[in-house]
Amino acid sequence: MTTPSEESPVEEVVYELEPSRVPKPIPVALEDLCKQTKFSRQEIRIMYRGFKTCLERDVRTIFCSRYKQRKP
């Protein structure tokens, strides 16, 4: 007769204590971005502000919906 530990050996799980190192993106100078994309400084600023606004709104919506479900 075998014991449960013999049938399914327990696997040891090792967790990294260090956070994974993800390379940070290197910012591109606005002038270089204008040359690469053919957009003006003003157009890039408008797009960035729109992106930032949408991102903040979406993040707030996600966090609000998750934390409202929690009970204190």
The whole domain housing 48 covers: 28-72
Residue 3: how many other CB atoms lie within 10 Å: 6
Distances (CA, A) of 21 to 18, 28, 47, 61: 8, 21, 29, 28
Note whether residue 34 is domain-resident: yes
- Dihedral of CA 62/65/69/70: which sign? positive
Query: Does pTM top 0.75 for this prediction?
Result: no
Note whether residue 23 is domain-resident: no
Q: How many domains does the chain have?
A: 1
Phi and psi of 10, rounded to 5°? Answer: -80, 130
Query: Tens digit of pLDDT for each residue in 52-72?
Result: 888 888 888 887 877 776 554
How far is 26 from 64, CA to CA, in rounded Å? 31
Tell me what pLDDT residue 59 has.
Answer: 84
Q: Which two tokens stand for residue 5?
A: 């530990």
Note whether residue 22 is domain-resident: no
Note whether residue 72 is domain-resident: yes
Query: Tens digit of pLDDT for each residue in 16-57?
Result: 555 667 778 888 899 999 999 999 999 999 998 988 888 888
Note whether residue 11 is domain-resident: no
Note whether residue 32 is domain-resident: yes
